[in-house]
Amino acid sequence: MPATLADPRTSGARKAPKRRMRLSWSDPTFRSIVWQIVIVGLVVGIVWYLVDNTNRNLAARRIATGFGFLGRVAGIPIGESPISYSSASDTYGRALWIGVLNTLKVAGIGIVLATLLGTLVGIGRLSSNWLMARLTGFYVEVIRDIPLLLQLLFWYTMLQGLPVPKQSWRIGDAVFLSNRGIKVPYLIWENAHNWASVALLCGAIGTFVWSRRARAQQEATGLRPAVWPVALGLMGALPLAVWAALGAPMAFELPVLRGFNFQGGGTVSPEYFALLLGLVLYTAGYIAEIVRSGIQAIAIGQWEAAGALGLRRGAILRHIVLPQALRVVIPPMTSQYLNLTKNSSLAVAIGYQDVVSIANTTLNQTGQAVEGIAVIMAVFLTISLSISLFMNWYNARIALVGR
């Protein structure tokens, strides 16, 4: 049989004959190339024009370009910092790095808390209890209709309206709530705690390995060895034993009122607390809706079918419903995490020193506007890309595998 008569379905897709591009306006390839050259040329031209103007303006104002200022002494007073800092000797680079850490601190904890609260509220909206469903619905509606910035200002003023340290609200002699923030006891960290943490990490790895083995055994024999006793032993008893063997140190540093303010103990500053509260309450409203739609997306037949197979309610939730709901929930959840991280930049309005706030002070002090904004954008792009890369990886892992 001549090859030209071969069935196109078996001989692979028929290829369009290769045509040479004609240099004519009626040729679509030629047209698209011309259009692309025009558009790219326009964009490059505009950017070049703006950059040229900027360079000339900077030269006229005698502002040096470049990131040399990062090495200069900053002199920015920073109220709270996870690493040591002194405004007299440390550089702009270090100040900005503290800003990044502060941003990560509020965004990381905010994401965890907002997910927890949002999940609870989302489940509450589906409650069979009418009052519960209505109240959570009211919360979701109202919190999403008020600008976050207004909420932050509101919480911040509320916290500033708290009593002075001398009349602070207290829980025993340990936790104090005043207009200087929340004072909590601080665990004095010792070597034993380090080793206990190492033990916990090892325990977590051990548990992971054991659960992989358990799954392999289940697939081979149909019987699943229990995982929870091993998990409890490796992640609970082992670190405790290590800690006890090293003398079980457990000393707290209590906040003590000295004069007009507290000494010692750990502090949650009013700025941080207001920002965290605002971000968590606001984002939880959105996460609640995502969780609700995720649960509602699972057909009731899934529950019934699993029940008919004899699975218990917990097992149905764990093995049937959640894996399917997660698939619906992950992409919008990712964008909420990104929103929370980006919204943490509103810190600048209430004086929490995140990266935007410190970069803003830097560019006001040094006049390095371009570099300051470049730093802000680079930091947020890096965080955004990391979160979306991680969530995309997770999404791909749990996605339905098509045949």
Partner 1 sequence: MSDRKQPPPGLVGPVAWLRTNLFGSWPSTAVTLALLYIVARMLFDFAEWAFVHAVWTVPYGPTGIAQTAVCQDAKGTGACWAVIADKYRLILFGRFPYAEQWRPALVIALFVALFALSTIKAVWRRGIESRLVQNIALLAAAAIVLDNAAGLLDTIAAVGFGWHLPLPFDLLFLGNTVGKYALICGLLLLWPAVGVWIGTLGAIGILMFGGQFGLSPVPVDYWGGLPITLILATFGLAFAFPLAILVALGRRSTSMPAVKTLSVVYVELIRGVPLISVLFMASVMFPLFMPPGINVDKLLRAQIAVILFAAAYLAEVVRGGLQALPKGQSEAADAMGLSYWQKTGFIILPQALRLVIPPLVNTFIGFFKDTSLVLIIGLFDLLTMGKVALSDPPWQSFSTEVYIALAVVYILFCYGMSRYSRGLERELNSARGR
CB of 15 to partner 1, least distance (A): 17
Neighbours of 95 (CB within 10 A): 25
CB of 13 to partner 1, least distance (A): 16
End-to-end CA distance of the chain: 34
106 and 272 Cβ atoms separated by less than 8 Å? yes
Nearer to partner 1, 128 or 221 (CB): 128
Nearer to partner 1, 263 or 386 (CB): 386
48 binds partner 1 (CB under 8 A): no
123 binds partner 1 (CB under 8 A): no
CB of 341 to partner 1, least distance (A): 8
- Per-residue binding string, partner 1, 10-29, x by CB under 8 A, is ------------------xx
Structure tokens at 183: 């004072």
Q: Which stretch binds partner 1 (CB under 8 A): 56-64, 80-88, 201-209, 212-220?
A: 56-64
241 binds partner 1 (CB under 8 A): no
Nearer to partner 1, 156 or 272 (CB): 156
188 and 251 Cβ atoms separated by less than 8 Å? yes
Choosing from 356, 358, 361, 362, the residue that interacts with partner 1 (CB under 8 A) is 356
Nearer to partner 1, 70 or 363 (CB): 363
Structure tokens at 315: 């097992």
CB of 157 to partner 1, least distance (A): 5
Burial (Cβ within 10 Å: 0-12, 13-18, ≥19) of residue 199:
buried
Choosing from 93, 373, 391, 395, the residue that interacts with partner 1 (CB under 8 A) is 373
SS3 sequence, 352-397?
CCCHHHHHHHHHHHHCCHHHHHHHHHHHHHHHHHHHHHHHHHHHHH
221 binds partner 1 (CB under 8 A): no
Nearer to partner 1, 134 or 319 (CB): 134
58 binds partner 1 (CB under 8 A): yes
Q: Which stretch binds partner 1 (CB under 8 A): 48-56, 178-186, 312-320, 394-402?
A: 48-56
Choosing from 21, 45, 64, 141, the residue that interacts with partner 1 (CB under 8 A) is 141
* Residues 105, 107: Cα–Cα separation, whole Å: 6
The residues binding partner 1 (CB under 8 A) are 28-29, 32, 35-36, 39-40, 43, 50, 53-54, 56-58, 60, 127-132, 135, 141-142, 144-150, 153-154, 157-158, 338, 342-343, 345-346, 348-349, 356, 360, 363, 369-370, 372-373, 376-377, 380-381, 384-385
